[in-house]
């Protein structure tokens, strides 16, 4: 621990807190020494001799001397493989189990069995090695026979020399995870981290492989602590459970749609969430909050949400509100609501061990807290001091926890922030979480912390989501969470936690968020300016400019750091930030459409640029750019005093957002930049809807080679009422362009007129549904139409 970290910890938890972290360290070690299974030397067991084979629904089951395996096609693009022995995973992450499997074609010969359905073939040989191929015979993946060592499963997958690996949840690593060693064990790095720290808060064992043969995705449905060594081979080790994994094949779209079907789709957020959020661990009172709001008003800056960090509580007692600091929370939330600002409140799973505290007493009498093997309630250390923790793997505990949200929701809190749910318990050394031997219900079937740990955050989010759904049924729940697992996005967004306030961490944000998206976590964000320090004006500005294009757009910072509101740095920073804030708000129709798409497809709005053309290898390692949906490519500025940067564009024609200059891809070039902007490109053939002062402008970027379809989604912004999707079909030529417009859904088009703005061409004439219409420069204002014919110079 460096001195800064010690000061941070002292400041945050005080001397008594530090003593408790020592006590907890001893207590945890004592418990684990007493109850943990002692493993003596174990044999490495290969599957051994093949003994029998059976055909089962959707596939085949093979029994070997030491293990058995089932291979099941759930769909033509999805295969489930389960090696036993070992406990089957409790299906917390799984949203769909009733797949309409068909019987694949099975070819058997003396060397093994091949299963064929659709475009994919799986072959298992008589030693338990498995090979996955597409219809052209390309080998997508090859698994050696898995090895069993005691309770542990080891699987080694042979990688092609050029193969790239992406995902594995939240990683402070390069975008391509190869080579590298990673662990899946949700971990609070305690106050700050940067490039190279592993594991972090979300260790989802999902990755995408990209090689000359194509790509596939794998989900290891095993929540036990696991290790991944990526070198010549991909070696995965799971410390318990059966070895169950799912493999997804096909185009990226197909892969991610199937993943979303298996682990569930992200939830559609309310529209306000896409605005700007202001947070600081240090806003302590109602007066602080009102002051911040006033700052936004005085500086003419828009804001949609203010966050309450743990100081709003009464002595960090979860689900309480400190009545000295917030005497009238309800009045505060409704005053802010009048200004279009929501309050979001932070929650931790730790419940203070305090006999005068209702939540603790109730939870104790309902028997919802985690216990040790001797039946005693587990005590850990968190903000409130000695604390107990709900066992979210117990249905009664989830239900009880769910009931607690009522008070916050009825005080008008609109969004919930779940923190410390890795779960974290402060310890002076060792693993800052529960003892491994902690017993968990696992919905009645029992398990220890080795199995339940990684699921803890997911299940806390489930309880929270269901609470909001129940108590405010006309609102869409919005939670964002620090920890999670596969399926997290059914309930919550996430943010990347306590990143350092350094240029290095700014740069790290892009691969981290891209990796989260490729692991099925569609909506993420980062503390703008970093969490743990006080960035200078330029770093804050560059961070802000990048985050303008991320789903969660929030400034947040640690206690004791300098106050960091968008006006904190004075001019020219505030003015530039104001422009980016305004741009963000203009882009909300586009962002909202992407959120709606993600809620249907599971595909993150934030994608690596290789998404555009996976065959172009020059794109495979690009980790300083990203795509926002299909239309927008960002190349943020990630270095101090950088006034030109190298741009890589995928194939296609790209327009600079700022000046409509056209660039043809695939290409690489240097682009001069200023402090005022970051490079931003729009793909030809796209439309970019932008809203301002109740008016909508549809920016049209013609593509004279291909026809293109684009759409925009609208609804009321919250709840579950009517919606509409406006589909625009583009057919552009050198000198003209036709746009046809049809819509689905009942929600009325929310604007009386649309402005059509043409980019990259000189407009000379426009015909709307057969009638000429006046143009002004490259702009045309018209009511809704069916057909628009545009003529260019």
Active site (catalytic) residues? 419, 422, 498
Site membership for ligand MIG, residue 347 (CB under 6 A):
no
Question: How much helix, strand and coil, in percent to the nearest 5, is found in the chain?
Answer: 25, 35, 45
Alpha-carbon distance values, 365 to 351, 359, 397, 483 (Å): 14, 10, 11, 28
Beta strands in 290-384 (DSSP E): 305-308, 342-347, 351-352, 380-382
**Candidate residues 112, 497, 511, 652; the one interacting with ligand MIG per rule CB under 6 A:** 497
By CB under 6 A, what part of segment 61-120 binds ligand MIG? Answer: none
d(CA 298, CA 311): 26
Pick the closer one to ligand MIG by CB: 284 or 482: 482
Alpha-carbon distance values, 463 to 348, 407, 541 (Å): 13, 15, 37
Identify the three-state secondary structure at position 56: strand
Those residues whose C-beta lies under 8 Å from the C-beta of residue 6, and which sit 6 or more positions away, are none
Pick the closer one to ligand MIG by CB: 257 or 311: 311
Pick the closer one to ligand MIG by CB: 81 or 289: 289
Site membership for ligand MIG, residue 498 (CB under 6 A):
yes
**Do the beta carbons of residue 434 and residue 424 sit within 8 Å?**
no
Pick the closer one to ligand MIG by CB: 23 or 613: 23
Pick the closer one to ligand MIG by CB: 209 or 532: 532
- Minimum CB separation from ligand MIG for residue 80, in Å? 35
Phi, psi (rounded to 5 degrees) for 663: -130, 140
- Minimum CB separation from ligand MIG for residue 369, in Å? 20
- Minimum CB separation from ligand MIG for residue 258, in Å? 33
- Minimum CB separation from ligand MIG for residue 351, in Å? 15
Phi, psi (rounded to 5 degrees) for 202: -130, 105
User: Bridge-partner residues for 134, per DSSP?
Assistant: 120
Pick the closer one to ligand MIG by CB: 527 or 726: 527
Phi, psi (rounded to 5 degrees) for 92: -60, -35
In the shown chain, the binding pattern of residues 732 to 751 toward ligand MIG, with x for contact by CB under 6 A and - for none, equals --------------------
Q: What angle do CA 41, 43, 45 make, to 5 degrees?
A: 160
Pick the closer one to ligand MIG by CB: 143 or 419: 419
d(CA 533, CA 541): 15
Site membership for ligand MIG, residue 726 (CB under 6 A):
no
- Minimum CB separation from ligand MIG for residue 415, in Å? 14
**Do the beta carbons of residue 464 and residue 398 sit within 8 Å?**
no
In the shown chain, the binding pattern of residues 5 to 44 toward ligand MIG, with x for contact by CB under 6 A and - for none, equals ----------------------------------------
Phi, psi (rounded to 5 degrees) for 46: -80, 165
Query: CB-based burial of residue 266 (10 Å sphere; 0-12 exposed, 13-18 middle, 19+ buried)?
Result: buried
- Minimum CB separation from ligand MIG for residue 506, in Å? 17
- Minimum CB separation from ligand MIG for residue 533, in Å? 13
First to last CA, the chain: 66
- Minimum CB separation from ligand MIG for residue 552, in Å? 12
Token couple for 330: 């309800």
- Minimum CB separation from ligand MIG for residue 236, in Å? 28
Pick the closer one to ligand MIG by CB: 62 or 310: 310
d(CA 473, CA 42): 53
Packing angle, helices 395-404 and 358-366, rounded to 10? 160
Site membership for ligand MIG, residue 482 (CB under 6 A):
yes
Site membership for ligand MIG, residue 346 (CB under 6 A):
yes
**Do the beta carbons of residue 549 and residue 276 sit within 8 Å?**
no
Residue nearest to ligand MIG (CB): 281
- Minimum CB separation from ligand MIG for residue 531, in Å? 6
Pick the closer one to ligand MIG by CB: 348 or 699: 348
DSSP 389: -
Residues in the interface with ligand MIG (CB under 6 A) total: 11
In the shown chain, the binding pattern of residues 265 to 294 toward ligand MIG, with x for contact by CB under 6 A and - for none, equals ----------------x-------------
**Candidate residues 309, 422, 451, 612; the one interacting with ligand MIG per rule CB under 6 A:** 309
d(CA 330, CA 333): 5
Pick the closer one to ligand MIG by CB: 342 or 554: 554
Nearest in space to 509 (alpha carbons), one of 166, 169, 167, 172: 172
Pick the closer one to ligand MIG by CB: 93 or 382: 382
Beta strands in 36-134 (DSSP E): 44-45, 50-56, 59-64, 68-75, 78-84, 105-109, 112-117, 120-125, 130-134
d(CA 496, CA 678): 22
By CB under 6 A, what part of segment 529-568 binds ligand MIG? Answer: 531, 556
Identify the three-state secondary structure at position 166: strand
d(CA 26, CA 427): 9
Q: What angle do CA 505, 507, 510 make, to 5 degrees?
A: 105
**Do the beta carbons of residue 167 and residue 234 sit within 8 Å?**
no
**Number of alpha carbons in the 13 Å side-chain half-sphere of residue 776:** 5
- Minimum CB separation from ligand MIG for residue 461, in Å? 15
Q: How far is CA 182 from the centre of its chain?
A: 18
Q: How far is CA 383 from the centre of its chain?
A: 26
Pick the closer one to ligand MIG by CB: 345 or 754: 345
**Candidate residues 243, 255, 310, 673; the one interacting with ligand MIG per rule CB under 6 A:** 310
- Minimum CB separation from ligand MIG for residue 281, in Å? 4
Identify the three-state secondary structure at position 733: coil
Pick the closer one to ligand MIG by CB: 498 or 715: 498
**Do the beta carbons of residue 633 and residue 654 sit within 8 Å?**
yes
Site membership for ligand MIG, residue 637 (CB under 6 A):
no
Q: How far is CA 243 from the centre of its chain?
A: 25
By CB under 6 A, what part of segment 410-439 binds ligand MIG? Answer: 419-420
Beta strands in 239-362 (DSSP E): 243-249, 277-278, 305-308, 342-347, 351-352
- Minimum CB separation from ligand MIG for residue 184, in Å? 19
Token couple for 695: 């008016």
**Do the beta carbons of residue 604 and residue 594 sit within 8 Å?**
no
Site residues (vs ligand MIG, CB under 6 A)? 281, 309-310, 346, 419-420, 482, 497-498, 531, 556
């Amino acid at each position: 621990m460096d001195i800064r970290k010690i000061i941070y910890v002292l400041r945050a938890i005080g001397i008594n807190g530090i003593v408790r972290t020592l006590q907890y360290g001893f207590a945890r070690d004592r418990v684990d020494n007493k109850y943990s299974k002692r493993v003596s030397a174990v044999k490495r067991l290969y599957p051994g001799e093949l003994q029998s084979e059976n055909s089962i629904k959707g596939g085949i089951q093979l029994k070997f001397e030491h293990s058995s395996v089932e291979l099941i096609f759930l769909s033509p693009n999805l295969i489930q493989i389960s090696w036993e022995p070992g406990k089957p995973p409790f299906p917390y992450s799984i949203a769909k189990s009733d797949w309409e499997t068909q019987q694949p074609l099975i070819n058997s010969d003396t060397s093994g069995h091949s299963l064929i359905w659709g475009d994919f073939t799986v072959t298992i040989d008589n030693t338990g090695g498995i090979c996955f191929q597409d219809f052209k015979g390309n080998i997508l993946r090859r698994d050696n026979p898995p090895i069993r060592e005691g309770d542990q499963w080891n699987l080694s997958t042979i990688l092609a020399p050029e193969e790239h690996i992406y995902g594995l949840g939240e990683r402070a690593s390069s975008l391509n995870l190869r080579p590298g060693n990673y662990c899946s064990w949700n971990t609070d790095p305690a106050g700050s981290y940067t490039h190279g720290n592993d594991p972090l808060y979300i260790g989802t064992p999902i990755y995408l492989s990209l090689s000359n043969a194509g790509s596939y995705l794998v989900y290891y449905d095993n929540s036990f602590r696991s290790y991944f060594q990526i070198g010549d081979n991909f070696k995965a080790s799971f410390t318990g459970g059966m070895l169950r994994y799912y493999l997804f094949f096909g185009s990226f779209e197909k892969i991610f749609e199937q993943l979303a079907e298996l682990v569930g789709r992200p939830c559609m957020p309310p529209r306000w969430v896409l605005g700007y959020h202001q947070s600081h661990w240090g806003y302590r009172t109602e007066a602080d909050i009102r002051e911040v709001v006033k700052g936004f008003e005085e500086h003419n800056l828009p804001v949609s949400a203010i966050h309450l960090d743990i100081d709003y509580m009464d002595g960090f007692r979860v689900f309480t509100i400190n009545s000295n600091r917030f005497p009238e929370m309800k009045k505060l939330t409704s005053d802010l609501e009048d200004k279009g600002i929501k309050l979001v409140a932070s929650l931790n799973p730790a419940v203070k061990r305090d006999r005068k505290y209702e939540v603790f007493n109730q939870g104790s009498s309902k028997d919802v807290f985690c216990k040790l093997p001797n039946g005693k309630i587990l005590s850990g250390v968190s903000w409130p001091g000695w604390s107990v923790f709900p066992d979210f793997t117990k249905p009664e505990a989830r239900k009880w926890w769910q009931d607690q949200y009522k008070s916050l929701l009825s005080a008008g809190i609109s969004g919930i922030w779940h923190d410390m749910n890795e779960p974290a318990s402060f310890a002076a050394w060792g693993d800052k979480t529960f003892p491994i031997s902690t017993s968990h219900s696992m919905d009645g079937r029992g398990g220890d912390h080795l199995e339940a740990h990684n699921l803890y955050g997911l299940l806390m989010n489930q309880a929270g989501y269901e609470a909001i759904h129940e108590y405010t049924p006309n609102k869409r729940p919005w939670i964002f969470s620090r920890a999670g697992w596969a399926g997290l996005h059914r309930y919550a967004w996430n943010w990347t936690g306590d990143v350092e306030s350094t240029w290095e961490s700014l740069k790290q944000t892009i691969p981290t968020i891209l990796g989260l998206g490729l692991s099925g976590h569609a909506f993420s964000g980062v503390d703008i300016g970093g969490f743990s320090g006080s960035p200078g004006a330029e770093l804050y500005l560059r961070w802000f400019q990048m985050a303008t294009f991320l789903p969660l757009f929030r400034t947040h910072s640690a206690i004791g750091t300098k106050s960091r509101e968008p006006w904190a740095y004075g001019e020219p920073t505030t003015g530039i930030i104001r422009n980016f804030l305004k741009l963000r708000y203009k882009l909300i129709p586009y962002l909202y459409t992407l959120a709606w798409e993600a809620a249907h497809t599971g595909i993150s709005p934030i994608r690596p640029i290789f998404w555009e053309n996976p065959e172009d290898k020059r794109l495979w390692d690009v980790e300083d750019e990203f795509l926002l949906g299909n239309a927008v490519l960002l190349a943020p500025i990630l270095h101090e005093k950088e006034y030109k940067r190298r741009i890589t564009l995928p194939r296609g024609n790209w327009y600079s957002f700022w000046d409509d200059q056209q660039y043809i891809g695939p290409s690489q070039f240097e682009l001069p930049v200023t402090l005022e902007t970051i490079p931003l490109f729009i793909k030809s053939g796209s439309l970019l809807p932008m809203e301002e002062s109740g008016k909508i402008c549809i920016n049209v970027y013609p593509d004279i080679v291909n026809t293109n379809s684009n759409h925009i989604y609208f609804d009321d912004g919250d709840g579950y009422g009517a919606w509409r999707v406006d589909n625009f079909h583009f057919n552009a030529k050198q000198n003209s362009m036709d746009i046809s417009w049809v819509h689905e859904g009942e929600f009325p088009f929310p604007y009386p007129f649309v402005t059509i703005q043409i980019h990259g061409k000189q407009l000379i004439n426009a015909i709307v549904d057969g009638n000429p219409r006046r143009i002004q420069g490259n702009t045309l204002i018209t009511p809704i139409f069916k057909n628009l014919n545009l003529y260019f110079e």
